[in-house]
Amino acid sequence: MGLSDGIASKQDVILVEDIVDTGLSTSMALQLLKAQNPASWKLCALLDKPARRSVSVKIDYLGKTIGDRFIVGYGTDVNEQYRQLPAIYVLEE
């Protein structure tokens, strides 16, 4: 079941993101979530990259703010590589 099935209605919901970059995807996900009428909603992000933000997004729970760098590891990847790394690294060009 997904959010379109109405499971968020009247529930407290935390949306968890790996990284908030431009904010476009996160904003869209939050709009879809809010349309389900949750009792409350919060946004949790491991990483925030505010230098690239094009849409304002309020992050309620944040791991770390980072600069405008491309990161990999700990579940983030580039072309499906580096996801398995046990920490977060900056990918140098």
Phi, psi of 14, deg, nearest 5: -115, 120
Q: Assess whether 21 carries a catalytic annotation.
A: yes
With beta carbons less than 8 A apart as the criterion, state whether 56 and 87 touch. no
With beta carbons less than 8 A apart as the criterion, state whether 82 and 54 touch. no
User: Could you tell me which of 26, 18, 23 has the C-alpha nearest to residue 62?
Assistant: 18
Question: Would you call 77 helix, strand, or coil by DSSP?
Answer: coil
Phi, psi of 47, deg, nearest 5: -130, 145
Q: Which of 12, 21, 60, 68 is catalytic?
A: 21
| Active site amino acids | 21
